[in-house]
Structure 1
Amino acid sequence: MAIAHDPGKAEPVVQLTERARAIFRDIVETYLETGEPVGSRTLAKAGGLGLSAASIRNVMQDLEELGLLASPHTSAGRMPTDRGLRLFVDGMMQVSAPSEADVAIIEAEARTAGSSLEDVLARTTGALSGLAQCAAVVVAPKAEAVIRQLNLVPLSPTRLLSVLVGADGTVENRIIELAEPLPASTVAEAEAYMNARLSGMTLAEASARLAAEIATGRAELDRLTAGLVEEGLAAWSRDASGPILIVRGTSHLLESADLDRARLLLEELEAKAQLARLLDEARAADALKIFIGAETRLFALTGSSVVAAPYRGPDGRILGVVGVIGPTRLNYARVVPMVDFTASRLSRLMG
């Protein structure tokens, strides 16, 4: 499993003594399991360290001065900071393969028969959300529409409704704003040309054919009609190739003890453009990537983490990204291999 590391964020594990590393690891693992600050007495009673509470407390103070631990005002215990979690994730965490039960659930959704690609991605992401008990996201490539029929419906002298019927039966509408009123005959001729000459093509193929036929004179369209056909195709092409962002399981975020932060996170997830830009970093890293709390501007206020991994097409090209979003108190050791497996499974699905 390849995990992308940011050298600017990595913490030098070697600077900690073996005793400090052991105490720090126990604090982080206990905190991730319970969600509560960890006290020196709790660690001493556990007995695994073989140290007194006073000795543990001294080391905890040193770790706090290093910025790896923080002490909430309401508790004598300590909890890891974002910097401390980064140190743990990059240098101490033990990651194993996902459990057979988790694999079976993800496999079952990925094999859903008779479903569209988008539906399978949504179902697989939903399974990941349920297993991780977090919100899950997937950036899916948008399938390029194949034209079955294009209709132009006049709404006013300078407005047309363009209706695209895809080869898969989908129907979508766009409004075309005209610079000047056009005769009804021009609209009819443009519609007839598109359905006679461009049906069965993708939008990119249709635009290329139109340009070629205009250049060679084979289009047999006057200036106004050719301009309307170009505008009609452009109205669809402007957003036809953009990625689809699917978010599942946001209700899990409301189960957080900090409802104010959870609500703020839900608001941030509504700003899908910002989330898509963040996930693009995992795409650019070409490997699984972990974002922790204030390391990202998007989640700086909510104290949230993201674990995301790219998935690929049959030619090895990255098609999208899948991941989970939750509190910084994620069970990283379980979630990381789960996300990595889901990305690998989606890659096989695309093959």
Structure 2
Amino acid sequence: MHLSPVTELTDRARDVFRMIVENYLGTGVPVGSRTISKLPGINLSPASIRNVMQDLEELGLLSHPHTSAGRVPTEGGLRLFVDGMMQAAEPSPAEQAAIEGKLERGAGPIEDALAAATSVLSGLSACAGIVLVPKREPVLKQLGFVMLSPAQALAVMVGGDGSVENRVVDLPPGVTPAALTEVANYVSSRLCGLTLQQALARLTEEIGAGQAALDQAAQELIARGLALWSEDGSKRPVLIVRGQANLLDQAAAADLERVRQLLDELEGKQEIARLLDSARAGQGMKIFIGSENKLFALSGSSVIAAPYRGGDGKVVGVVGVIGPTRLNYARVVPMVDFTAQALTRLMA
């Protein structure tokens, strides 16, 4: 169905539509003509308002739930409102202080500050807060191998941040327990303190120059271990979610199946992380409403996300909220934007 832009609506239709959307977003319940007729600034009878509502419904901007005489905005109507009619309200000084107060960069990992910011954003917006953390290439501290059988070994990879990864790897032909010790010694003396990319580059360089003092099997085993760790790092969840309980409000009681679906979707962090990752390419806010993104087609949820930047000005992560399509966009959009700006200052 073709949706008319705001400029194609009459002044009366635009006023009635805006009032319906704002009332619905505030209450979460269908809006009737009598409710609109009692609002200040509208000089129309309920009958005239019903006629306008019918026109808006025919345009695909409103829908008419079977169990109610009122109307609710469609996803297309919400998109029209957000893009062309919404009057955003800046976060209050108290809200700004609450967000910034959680971003004190202490001695702990940056993830702690990001999680704290996500929690306060969740509380202020009454949504689930989400943040895509900066991807950091791990630094190699130790890479050792414990022989399990002539054909397999347990690779133990320790990062500079204390993270440990254990994986079973297939051994190249000819590897002995003594060779495994030789490999560990080489990594400790030559590759410790390097990123994975740097370690692979040095290994390749020293092999090419004949300086590695490793046989072919040992060289191949180190390369396998580094590649395996790199693959693990790319699959590791990089999404922090806080405040899922905020989605279980009173209005959700009548739509528990939708909420259950959304909570299930939040469990699939990698899918949401990929969605947020698409916001990295943008220069500003991204708003996904309902089925505009197939991930939330069933739950009818909205995502508001904004990128934040590192000290070099490049986008390093994304922060935002997930909630029902009826969330208060005028209040939440600038709140997410402020949080992204605060995170950018933190990362500088």
TM score, norm. by length of structure 2? 0.94
**Alignment partner of 1:109 out of 102, 115, 120:** 102
SS of residue paired to 2:137? coil
Aligned counterparts of 1:182 and 1:335: Cα–Cα separation in 2: 59
Unaligned runs of 5+ in 1: 1-8
SS of residue paired to 2:144? strand
Q: Structure 1 residue 95: deviation in Å?
A: 0.9
**Alignment partner of 1:247 out of 241, 250, 256:** 241
Match of 2:164? 171
Match of 1:45? 38
**Alignment partner of 2:183 out of 184, 190, 215:** 190
Larger mean CA deviation between 272-281 and 228-237 belongs to: 272-281
Match of 1:278? 275
Matched, 1:16 2:13: no
Q: Could you list the per-position Cα deviations for residues 105-156 of structure 1 after superposition, in whole angstroms to 9, with x for gaps in the alignment?
A: 1111111522211111111111111111111111112322222222211223
User: Does the 8 Å contact 1:187/1:225 carry over to 2?
Assistant: yes
Match of 2:294? 297
Matched, 1:266 2:266: no
Aligned counterparts of 2:12 and 2:59: Cα–Cα separation in 1: 15
1:34-113 pair list within 5 angstroms? 34-113=27-106
Match of 1:318? 315
Q: Structure 1 residue 94: deviation in Å?
A: 0.4
Aligned counterparts of 1:10 and 1:176: Cα–Cα separation in 2: 56
Q: Structure 1 residue 272: deviation in Å?
A: 2.2
Q: Structure 1 residue 157: deviation in Å?
A: 2.4
Aligned counterparts of 1:218 and 1:180: Cα–Cα separation in 2: 22
Aligned counterparts of 1:164 and 1:137: Cα–Cα separation in 2: 29
Q: Structure 1 residue 158: deviation in Å?
A: 2.2
Letter paired with 2:271: Q
Match of 1:128? 121
User: Does the 8 Å contact 1:70/1:80 carry over to 2?
Assistant: yes
Match of 1:331? 328
SS of residue paired to 1:247? strand
Letter paired with 1:250: Q
Q: 1:281 to 1:146 in 2, by over 3 A?
A: closer
Letter paired with 1:34: T
Q: Percent identity?
A: 59
SS of residue paired to 1:110? coil
Matched, 1:307 2:304: yes
Larger mean CA deviation between 145-154 and 210-219 belongs to: 145-154
Letter paired with 2:330: A
Aligned counterparts of 1:347 and 1:26: Cα–Cα separation in 2: 36
**Alignment partner of 1:345 out of 339, 342, 346:** 342
Q: Could you list the per-position Cα deviations for residues 286-331 of structure 1 after superposition, in whole angstroms to 9, with x for gaps in the alignment?
A: 2101110111111111110000001111111111111100000010
TM score, norm. by length of structure 1? 0.93
Aligned counterparts of 1:10 and 1:275: Cα–Cα separation in 2: 28
Match of 1:3? none
SS of residue paired to 2:294? coil
Q: Structure 1 residue 211: deviation in Å?
A: 0.4
Aligned counterparts of 2:248 and 2:231: Cα–Cα separation in 1: 36
Aligned counterparts of 2:280 and 2:41: Cα–Cα separation in 1: 41
Give the CA RMSD over aligned residues.
1.7
User: Does the 8 Å contact 1:312/1:320 carry over to 2?
Assistant: yes
Aligned counterparts of 1:158 and 1:120: Cα–Cα separation in 2: 44
SS of residue paired to 2:38? helix
User: Does the 8 Å contact 1:158/1:181 carry over to 2?
Assistant: no
Q: 1:10 to 1:102 in 2, by over 3 A?
A: farther
User: Does the 8 Å contact 2:180/2:218 carry over to 1?
Assistant: yes
User: Does the 8 Å contact 2:287/2:303 carry over to 1?
Assistant: yes
Q: Structure 1 residue 159: deviation in Å?
A: 2.2
**Alignment partner of 2:201 out of 205, 208, 219:** 208
Unaligned runs of 5+ in 2: none
Q: Structure 1 residue 60: deviation in Å?
A: 0.4
Q: Structure 1 residue 163: deviation in Å?
A: 1.8
Letter paired with 2:256: L
Letter paired with 1:281: S
Aligned counterparts of 1:298 and 1:39: Cα–Cα separation in 2: 31
Letter paired with 1:32: L
Q: Structure 1 residue 203: deviation in Å?
A: 1.4
Q: Structure 1 residue 47: deviation in Å?
A: 4.1
User: Does the 8 Å contact 1:10/1:90 carry over to 2?
Assistant: no
SS of residue paired to 1:298? helix
Aligned counterparts of 2:112 and 2:137: Cα–Cα separation in 1: 16
User: Does the 8 Å contact 1:148/1:166 carry over to 2?
Assistant: yes
Aligned counterparts of 2:300 and 2:39: Cα–Cα separation in 1: 29
